[in-house]
Amino acid sequence: MVQMIFVNIPVKDIKRSRAFYEALGFTINEQFSDGSAACVVVSESIYFMILNHERFQGFSTLPMADTGKVTAVLISLSRESREAVDAITAAALGAGGSEPKPAQDHGFMYGRTFMDPDGNVLEPVWMDPAAIGG
């Protein structure tokens, strides 16, 4: 069985967030989307469920984090190259995201950090396959 990951992300405006994530190159699965949610297809096994605050709160047992004040989660996404890390970050910035800190270059690993319009943090990262022990 292939395991799948569904990351539930609270957003203020579904239309704005759909446009943001589509600008990153992701698609939307309309079968699992409506006015209060959208299913963002990141890969064959990873999905972001962007949910308006009311819908998100219906799933949560604790208060929702105010991502303008605190970091709720850091979502790291592997990329195939340094250029791909820069490309997705540029797309995020062009679609209304922000970059709260400079790129991190450790030689064998390169990453950046950006926030979606709601302050949710994504970190695209590339690692040199030769540096990964096996």
What is the amino acid identity at position 28? I
Number of domains in the chain: 1
CB 52 within 8 A of CB 11: yes
Q: Strand, coil or helix: what is 29?
A: strand
111/77 Cα distance (integer angstroms): 10
CATH number at residue 96: 3.10.180.10
pLDDT in tens, 43-93: 999 999 999 999 999 999 999 999 989 999 999 999 999 999 999 999 999
Helix (H) or strand (E) holding 10: strand 5-11
Predicted model pTM = 0.92
CB 66 within 8 A of CB 24: no
Q: Which domain holds residue 59?
A: 5-131
